[in-house]
Structure 1
Amino acid sequence: MSTTSFQLIALVLLLLLLSSPVNSVNVALNDDVLGLMVFKADIQDPYFNLSTWKEEDDNPCKWFGVTCDPYSNRVTELHLNGLSLSGHISKGLLRLQFLHTLSLSRNNFTGFITNPILTQIIKNSQVIDLSQNGFFGSIPEQLFIQCGSIRSISLANNKLTGHIPDSISSCLTLQNVDLSSNQLSGGLPKNIWSLTSLRSIDLSNNFLEGEIPQEKIETLFDIRVFNFSCNNFSGELPEKIGECLLLKSVDFSDNYLTGTIPLSVQKLSLCNVLNLRGNYFAGELPEWIGSLKSLEFLDLSVNNFSGLFPGSFGDLESLKSLNLSLNRLTGDLPESLANCRNLTVVDFSRNLFTGKIPIWAFSLRLKGVSLSGNRFIGDVGFGEETAAAFETLEILDLSLNSFSGAIPLSIGNFSSLVFLNMSFNGLIGSVPPSLGGLKAANVVDLSHNWLNGSIPVEIGGAARLNQLRLDGNFLTGSIPAQIENCSVLRTLILARNNITGSIPVGIVNLPELESVDLSFNHLSGSLPKELTNLSNLVTFNVSHNDLEGELPLGGFFNTIPLSSVSDNPSLCGSIVNQSCPGAHPKPIVLNPNPSHSDQGSSSLNLSHKRIILSISAIIAIGAAVFIALGVIVVTILNLHVRNSVSRSAAVALTFSGGDDFSHTRSPSSDYGKLVMFTGDAEFVSGTHALLNKDCELGRGGFGVVYWTALRNGRSVAIKKLHVPGLIKSREDFDREVKKLGMIRHSNLVLLEGYYWTPSLQLLINEYVSSGSLYKHLHEGNSENTLSWRERLDIVLGTARGLAHLHRMNVIHYNMKSTNVLIDCSGEAKVGDFGLVTLLPSLDRHVLSSKIQSALGYVAPEFACQTVKITEKCDVYGFGILVLEVVTGKKPVEYMEDDVVVLCDMVRGALDGGRAEECVDRKLNGDFPIEECISVIKLGLVCASQVPSNRPDMEEVIKILELIRCPLEGHEELE
């Protein structure tokens, strides 16, 4: 019997049943059977999990996923979780009159949540779990009107939009609410705390905003779990939240909350989890936190806490994970933490801590220790008390401090160590051979220290190495051939040392290699030809060495940038525009006037030479044909790759939000993950495919930007990131990009979404039509030049955008005129902000190499390892940009026999009373000289060499607003 016939029969039987007045037990039982069979007929069951469901059975109580009442044999529960079921929920379930629990989570069901059948099922049930499906649309107000006795509802991980209906506050029987991981917006419902039966509420990973209601929260006597993380909530935490005495988990992380931790929180004696990371809480850490004896997980990172680390934290004997990173805490780490015997992970990175590493960091059986980005000093020593850590420690990050002395030989005893980072310190001595004992290590980073000696051959013993970074030291000797034993190596960075010898041939046996940087050394010899077989290679930098011979031909090396092989005088090949000796046959020259005495011989020679010439011609023609075929093949492959990317994006764009593709999509992992923050969209394929070179808008330190269009005709700008080997893991990338996507301001370029595969990362940005400020200042003609009023408005708009970033705790790091875009109304929009957060750590060498294009904008503190990078580096770049806008000149200009630094030139003119000479001549005198001088002075103050002398951006905005108001006088700026 066909599926269609079966559906018709089932529906006819159901209609007969609905019209029949018979109420016998058997008919009632058949009611359940037919109801479930109609439900089954409307869905797809790819793995035949419902094969036990048969219409000839008297009752369904033995069917898979079905639970019945033991006395009446009526269906009471339906659990069909994680079966890859798809389709729509039909009215068959309405026949299950005694159904009180419906759980269909982790499937591929779709449809509007406003479906009347679905609404009726929810009203008639007590427990509903429709999480991790594909339901969409807004939650209807009527869903919670006359909601009956519903106790638990989960609609998490769907594609729901709109507001949470106010009617939910009337469902007084609700105990568990989970609406997490959707796209819900707006504020919390009115009277949300009227749900006095609540035990758990999870609204995390949405776009909810506004303040959290203060009143009546103390009436939630049974509440155990609060999870409002990853939203846009603002204001302060409810002062009486600590009156909810049964609370076990409190998570308000990644919002915009301010103020201090409410004093009442100290009453939460049962609390296991307290997570307030990623907000704007300030003040000192309260001593009373030590009274929360049940705490196991405490995360106060990414806030503005200051002052000393309270010793009372040592009283948290149940504590397992402690994260205080990215705050402004000072002083030494307390010795009392040695009492926290259950600690497994501590993260104190990016603070202002001083002193030495406390003994407990290695005496406890910790799995992770991160002290990066502080002011710790002294030797890195592993004494007898370290024995416990040798077996357990998996992460050790001591980077960006002032540690000195040698790396202990016992470093190789950490048998479980996966991640080791000691970069940017003052470590001396040699790289210990014992590093080869790190059998589990994926990452070893000892870059930017004072290490000398050679790279030990024992490094080959660390066979699981994924990244090896030893750049910025004083290493000598050759690269050990044993490096080929690290068969999964992807990143090899040995730049800026004194390494000699040749590149070991064994490097070609590392098939996973993606990023290699051997620049600024003294390497000699030729490049192994087999390097072309490394199919995953993205960067290969051997510039500034003494290499010789022909560059390999094929694969990555056909398109290798000149900058990656420059300053190797003896290298030859087309990339370096230098022919190789013996690469071309000697041209044959025929004598047009042979002598008569040699006529016979000449005829013979001429015939021979003609033969040779024709062979040469054949070889040349053959080579040309081979090259042409190669170009055609490469072009076809490129088109195939572009079409694949375009197709993957087109397929992906039918979903939005934070989920991976559902099981109804193609299972190919090549499609990766695409997330749109601004709703569903589809790219136009075909003429304007993604990453079409003809649609390239520009290039920067972090990647190339392309234009493309959505199906609805709206344009977007797609940035293809190019930081090989440095992009964070997918989870970290997701989290950081979502943070950037939540930053909204009229003077900031909107991040609309992103696309991820392991080899390709795209950022989807708002398209700003009128191009960059750089283009308007330096590439436009005099007829279309910006007026003074337009320039002042652009400067003010840029300041407002930058100030908003700083309020969000985001440093731009790459402030320059190419990153300020102008929209069709002349409004400035700051773009490319916060991209450095996508890197695993603030590696200043990497960062500086990424912003070389920002020559002249870079604050002087970037060159000093001991100075902490703050928002003031953005203020410096802004100051240079202000001078650029006023003068129309680039920050650094190269003349025939001189280099002109804009900041110095303007300062000299101002000191000499010639400030008006600095104003852009394109303005033709059409500007108020007083305003210009005031703006110049502001630019110079912002570009002060001393960070503390620079104003913050809020102050800059006030000054600019004063300059724009002629009635307010400018004497304060004189």
Structure 2
Amino acid sequence: MLLNLLTILFLAPFLVESSDSGFNDDVLGLIVFKAGLKDPEAKLISWNEDDDNPCKWVGVKCDPRTNRVSELVLDGFSLSGHIGRSLLRLQFLRILSLSKNNFNGTINPILAQIGNLRVIDLSENNLSGSIPDEIFRQCKSLRAISLAKNNLTGQIPNSFSSCSTLEGVNFSSNQLSGPLPSQIWSLTVLRSLDLSDNLLEGEIPQGIGSLYDLRAVSLRKNNFSWQLPEDIGGCLLLKSLDLGENSLSGGLPESIQKLSLCTFLSLSGNLFTEEVPDWIGDMRSLEVLDLSANKFSGQIPYSLGNLQFMKELNLSMNQFTGSLPESLANCINLLAIDVSQNLLTGNLPAWILKLGLRSVSFSGNKLSGSIKYPSLTSTAAASYQSLQFLDLSSNALSGEIPFVIGNFSSLQFLNMSGNSLIGAIPTSVGELRTTQFLDLSHNRLNGSIPSQIGGAVSLQELRLENNFLTGKIPIQVGKFSSLTSLILSQNNLTGPIPAAIANLSDLQLVDLSFNQLSGSLPKELTNLSRLLSFNISHNHLQGELPVGGFFNTIPLSSVSGNPSLCGSVVNHSCPAVHPKPIVLNPNSSSDSGGGSLSPNFRHKKTILSISALIAIGAAIFIVIGVVTVTVLNLHVRSSLSNSAAPLTLSTGDDFSHSPTSESNYGKLVMFSGDAEFVAGAHALLNKDCELGRGGFGAVYRTVLRDGRSVAIKKLNLSSLIKSQEDFEKEVSNLGKIRHHNLVVLEGYYWTPSLQLLINEYICSGSLYKHLHEGESKNCLSWQHRFNIILGTAKGLAHLHQLNIIHYNLKSTNVLIDRSGEPKVGDFSLARLLPMLDHYTLSSKIQSALGYMAPEFACRTVKITEKCDVYGFGVLTLEVVTGRRPVEYMEDDVVVLCDMVREALEAGRVEECVDGKLCGNFPAEEAIPVIKLGLICASQVPSNRPDMGEVVKILELIQCPSEGQEELE
């Protein structure tokens, strides 16, 4: 048998063309086909070359009349290899289905030569290359072809339009590109066409209305543009039309209303405008209507109430106004409604929870009033039991959370955040036993967290931040065995952190910051192996931080604001436990000589002896120090006189010191590279090389001996500078900071009356110049602006991780390098000036007007990292809008933050985006960035996020697939 098989493999290329083989054609063709495959699961073990016919082989069917193979169906067999010529022997084959395997290489055009082939299914493999033109050019009886979910590229061949027998086509989920074949609608018997999830582009051609048998069309997730074909309503039998996620525009063609049999219509994720016409209610067969993520405006048509078969309605992310029409109460089969992210007003409709809906989303509108639920009748009880998803977040709802919320026994997702809800959290939340996500944050809830909440045993995420909650964190949170996120920050919670939290092995994110929590941290918290963030900052916690696991690398910002915490992370050692000291009685006599000194005199004598010893030791130490410093100074002066030349300073300025009274030598320190400057016409501080002036001094450009340009900042506050020792210590610390988005401090120069900072030179100038000056004004694309905002945030976050405050963030202190990346400069200069208080500091950096946090005006408020966050928020708005933080008009002063906030409240926030921005901008990114800027620029420091949180939010805005959430 082995010899026979080897003979077959060797002669295979010749046997395909031979008519004199002793083997049955079907057996031979299939055995040779099998020989070219890998069959890891031995699914084809029944295929035996010694059999006279293959009709009983697995995956093979024969025509009972001819006893020849008519179907080869090997779906999901884990086969791999190439589809070879041997299949040509199966001349009676009608169905070839090899889907859900691992076939690779290109599609063999010989398939077209199998004369009776009617169905080809090669979907869900690893096929590559283009679709062979021959398959359609030699098309004889082909009825259906599926090449979906492969790696095919190139254009759909024009010969595709000549295969007039085609009824079903599926080329979805490939990388096909280019326009549709011009004669595609000449396939008059076509019933199903799926070209979704490709890179196709151009216009959908007219003529589709001639396809009377067409039942389903999906062109979803391509790059089609222009308007819909006007004759699309001619496909009278069309039941499913999916054109979502393209760039189609204009209004809806009137002919669509003729699609009376259509049950599925999706136009989501396009650029459709105008109002949705009333005739949409004439499409009585509709079960799914998805018009989301377009630019539809006006009111939601009342005629939608005529669609009594409708199960899903999605009108989210448009610009609909007014209230939801009461007629929708007639849609008795409705299961899901999503009208989120619109401009809807009015109250939450009372009927919305009477229809037995499974999913309801009204988030991101302007709904007001209290939340009303139907009374607990038998009908209402059924409605309660069906609801699984309820999102009412980001509205203006008021009143209390109704107690009947606990009757939603099937609820999995509940979000009421970002409203104005008051009162206590009802104890009935403990009845939500199936709820996985519960968010009541950013409201005005008060009272304590009810202990009954422990009944919600399926919770995976609990968010209650930004409320007025009091009392202790209930130990019942330890019952949430699947909990991954626990966010309770910015409340008034008191008491200890429950040790039961340490039992929640799936916990990843914990934020208990900005509360009044006290006591020590449970040591068992180190057992939380999946922990990614644990923020307990700004509480009254005390004692030692846990040691081990996540807590060995916990960021300082996550534990700051707890002055009584100790441990290596907070750089505060914990007090050691010492044995009690031995106390000697000063009145007892220990004089063995029996002297006559009184007890008081003996005590004074002992004290004087100890004081004398301390004084003598200190004097010896001082003398040694003086001698050592003197020797070192003599050595340094000797070295300078032998090897260093005076540093040349040539400026147009008159220095405040006398040349005759100061040494010719200053101390020049470079942290890396050459420490010598190029001599010549351009000296170190030449006025011709001045780059600019700021609150802390002028900046000049010069060149080092190794050819590198550097920027020299001459500090103009010498009388306030710390001592040389403190100055050098601070500057040396700043010189160690390295980050992609921070300007590098290269070195410094010191004399008592002149201090210079030597910085990395950034060639493309400041962000201010790019936004407001010269030829480059406003010529920044959205992506460039977003990258500048994100890079600046990362630079600030790095500084804050090192416990460094910038103090003076503004667009002139953000520099742009040649690759367009932002670099934050001039950070922490105020740390060199110990004599500055709030008022002095604000006057020295008065050029930062508009960026300065309100704390600068209050002597009693501590300056923290949140001041930088405020400046970053203003800077963000400046980048997005292209406007200065404060602009002076003839009769008015415009403050940027106030202007943007008013526009947001009026629903005109998109108008704030810079009109001269190069290219279009994605509103789904720009609007959340604007909202984030306003949050950062909050008047209340505790309402501003940390810069680390800002970076995460920006990354989510940029990559919504990772879980974007709308900012408030």
**Which residue pairs with 2:194 in the alignment?**
202
Local SS of the residue matching 2:269: coil
2:407 counterpart (400, 413, 420): 413
Deviation at 1:380, TM superposition (A): 1.1
How far apart in 2 are the matches of 1:209 and 1:429? 54
Shift of residue 22 of structure 1?
4.8
Match of 1:917 in 2: none
CA 1:477–1:906 in structure 2 vs 1: closer, same or farther (change >3 Å)? closer
Structure 2 contact 248–271 (Cα < 8 Å) conserved? yes
The question of 1:168 aligning with 2:160 is answered: yes
Do the aligned residues in 2 keep the contact of 1:129 with 1:153 (CA within 8 Å)? yes
Residue of structure 2 equivalent to 1:750:
none
The answer to whether structure 1 residue 535 and structure 2 residue 529 are counterparts is yes
Structure 2 match to 1:667: none
Distance, in Å, in 2 between the alignment partners of 1:182 and 1:855 is 52
The residue that corresponds to 1:178 in the other structure is 170
Q: CA 1:345–1:894 in 2, change beyond 3 Å: closer, same or farther?
A: farther
| Matched AA of 2:313 | L
Matched, 1:956 2:916: yes
Whether the 8 Å CA contact 1:549–1:572 is kept in 2: the answer is: yes
Once the two structures are TM-superposed, the CA of residue 278 in structure 1 deviates from its matched residue by: 0.6
The residue number in structure 2 matching 1:31 is 25
Match in the other structure for 1:676: none
Partner Cα separation in structure 1 for residue 828 and residue 83 of structure 2: 68
Structure 2 residue 482 is the aligned partner of structure 1 residue 488:
yes
User: How many angstroms does 1:281 deviate by?
Assistant: 0.5
Alpha-carbon distance between aligned partners in 2 of 1:457 and 1:6, rounded to the nearest angstrom: 78
Task: Check conservation: 1:47, 1:83, Cα contact below 8 A.
Answer: yes
| 1:592-671 aligned within 5 A | none
Distance 2:919 2:13 in 1: 76
Kept in 2, the 8 Å contact 1:138–1:162? The answer is yes
Partner of 2:305: 314
1:548-559 superposed matches below 5 A: 548-559=542-553
Q: What residue is the counterpart of 1:324 in the other structure?
A: 315
**Map of 1:381 onto structure 2:** 372
SS of the equivalent of 1:322 reads: strand
787 and 300 in structure 1: CA distance in 2 versus 1, 3 angstrom threshold:
closer
Of 203, 216, 240, the match for 2:231: 240
Q: Give secondary structure in 2 for the equivalent of 1:427.
A: coil
Offset, 1:478 = 0.7
The answer as to 2:86 corresponding to 1:143 is: no
Amino acid at match of 1:572: C
Aligned-partner SS, 2:915:
helix
Aligned-pair CA distance for 1:446: 0.4
SS in structure 1 at match of 2:296: strand
CA shift digits 1:605-633 (9 cap, x unpaired): xxxxxxxxxxxxxxxxxxxxxxxxxxxxx
Given that 1:891 and 1:903 are in contact with CA atoms closer than 8 Å, whether structure 2 keeps it comes out as no
Counterpart CA distance in 2 for 1:336 and 1:879 is 57
Cα distance, 1:941 vs. partner? 9.3
Between the aligned partners of 2:232 and 2:274, the Cα distance in structure 1 is 19
C-alpha deviation, 1:525, in angstroms: 1.0
Residue 336 (structure 2) aligned to one of 333, 337, 345: 345
Determine whether 1:81 maps to 2:75.
yes
Could you report, residue by residue, the CA deviation over 1:505-559 in whole angstroms, capped at 9, with x for unpaired residues? Answer: 1111110000000001111111111111111100000001111111111111111
Secondary structure class of the residue paired with 1:406: coil
Matches within 5 A, 1:114-129: 115-118=108-111, 120=113, 125-129=117-121
Q: Give the SS at the match of 2:237.
A: coil
SS of residue paired to 2:916 = helix
CA displacement, residues 466-504 of structure 1 (integer Å, 9 cap, x when unaligned)? 001111111111111111111011100000111111111
Shift of 1:785: 5.1
Matched, 1:576 2:565: no
Secondary structure of the structure 1 residue equivalent to 2:76: coil
CA positional deviation for 1:328: 0.7
Provide Cα deviations, 1:899-936, integer angstroms capped at 9, x if missing partner: 447673799xxxxxxxxxxxxxxxxxxxxxxx999x99
Q: CA deviation at 1:15?
A: 6.2
CA–CA separation in structure 2 for the residues paired with 1:794 and 1:86? 62
1:647 aligned partner: none
Separation in structure 2 between the aligned mates of residue 233 and residue 374 of structure 1, nearest angstrom: 30
DSSP 3-state at the match of 2:105: strand
Q: Which residue, 36, 43, 60 being the options, matches 1:42?
A: 36
Give SS of 1:516's match: strand
Name the counterpart of 2:386: 392
Pair 1:363–1:790, CA change in 2 (3 A):
closer
* 2:64 corresponds to 1:70: yes
The alignment's TM-score, normalised by the length of structure 1, stands at: 0.65
276 and 459 in structure 1: CA distance in 2 versus 1, 3 angstrom threshold: same
Structure 2 residue identity aligned to 1:233: F
- Contact 2:243–2:266 (CA under 8 A) maintained in structure 1: yes
Distance in 1, matches of 2:334 and 2:472, equals: 42
Coordinate RMSD, CA, aligned: 4.2
Q: Which of 849, 873, 878 matches 1:904?
A: 849
After TM superposition, the runs of 4+ consecutive aligned structure 1 residues lying more than 6 A away are 583-588, 770-776, 787-790, 792-798, 852-858, 877-882, 887-894, 935-943
Q: Give the letter aligned to residue 407 of structure 1.
A: I
The partner residue of 1:266 within 257, 264, 268 is 257
Is the CA contact (8 Å cut-off) linking 2:809 and 2:851 kept in structure 1?
Answer: no
Query: Secondary structure in 1 aligned to 2:274?
Result: strand
Counterpart check, 1:304 vs 2:295: yes
Against the structure 1 CA distance between its residues 879 and 132, is the aligned structure 2 distance closer, same or farther, given a 3 Å change threshold?
farther
> 2:468 aligned with 1:474, yes or no?
yes
On the 8 A contact 1:351/1:373 being kept in 2, the answer is: yes
Residue-by-residue CA offset, 1:13-58 (whole Å, 9 max, x unaligned): 75675565459xxx67x11011111111221222222222222222
What is the alpha-carbon distance in structure 1 between the residues aligned to residue 574 and residue 67 of structure 2? 88
Distance 1:242 1:518 in 2: 57
**How much has 1:389 moved relative to structure 2?**
1.9
Say if 2:509 and 2:533, in contact at 8 Å, map to a contact too.
Answer: yes
Residues 775 and 21 of structure 1: CA distance in aligned 2, closer, same or farther (over 3 Å)? same
Q: Secondary structure at the match of 2:70?
A: strand
Contact 2:73 2:98 in 1 (8 A): yes
The percentage of counterpart residues that share the same residue type is 52
Partner amino acid for 1:9? T
1:545 aligned to 528, 539, 543, which one?
A: 539
Structure 1 window deviating more from structure 2 (135-144 vs 233-242): it is 135-144
Report the Cα offset of residue 427 of structure 1: 0.8
- Give the TM-score, by structure 2 length: 0.65
Larger Rg: 2
CA distance in 2, matches of 1:262, 1:314: 21
Q: Aligned to 1:353, what secondary structure does the other structure show? A: coil
State the Cα distance separating 1:955 from its structure 2 match: 3.2
Deviations 1:656-699 (A, max 9, x none): xxxxxxxxxxxxxxxxxxxxxxxxxxxxxxxxxxxxxxxxxxxx
Distance 1:878 1:443 in 2: 44
Output the CA distance in 2 between the equivalents of 1:326 and 1:512: 34
CA distance in 2, matches of 1:40, 1:932: 70
Tell me, in whole angstroms, the C-alpha distance in 2 between the residues paired with 1:856 and 1:300. Answer: 47
Distance 1:878 1:211 in 2: 46
Name the SS of the counterpart of 2:138 in structure 1: coil
Superposed CA offset, 1:282-307 (max 9, x none):
11111101010110111000011111
Aligned amino acid, residue 479 of structure 1: I
Q: Check conservation: 1:89, 1:118, Cα contact below 8 A.
A: no
Counterpart-to-counterpart distance in 2, 1:779 and 1:31: 85
Match of 1:8 in 2: 6
The aligned residue for residue 952 of structure 2 is none
Matches within 5 A, 1:636-715: none
Paired residue for 1:603?
none
Please report how far the alpha carbon of residue 137 of structure 1 lies from its aligned counterpart in structure 2 after TM superposition: 1.4
**Structure 1: gaps spanning 5 or more residues:** 589-596, 599-769, 806-811, 822-830, 833-848, 859-876, 908-930, 961-974
Give the whole-Å Cα distance in 2 for the aligned partners of 1:400 and 1:816: 27
The CA distance in 2 between the partners of 1:421 and 1:239, in whole Å, is 42
Q: 1:546 to 1:888 in 2, by over 3 A?
A: closer
- Asked if structure 2 preserves the Cα contact closer than 8 Å seen for 1:230 and 1:255, the reply is yes
Distance in 2 between the 1:399 and 1:287 partners? 29
**One-letter identity of the residue aligned with 2:549:** G
Separation in 2 of the partners of 1:456 and 1:272? 46
2:99/2:124 contact within 8 Å kept: yes
**Structure 1 residues 453 and 21: alpha-carbon distance in aligned structure 2, compared to 1, 3 A threshold:** closer
Q: How does 1:852-867 map to 2 (within 5 A)?
A: none
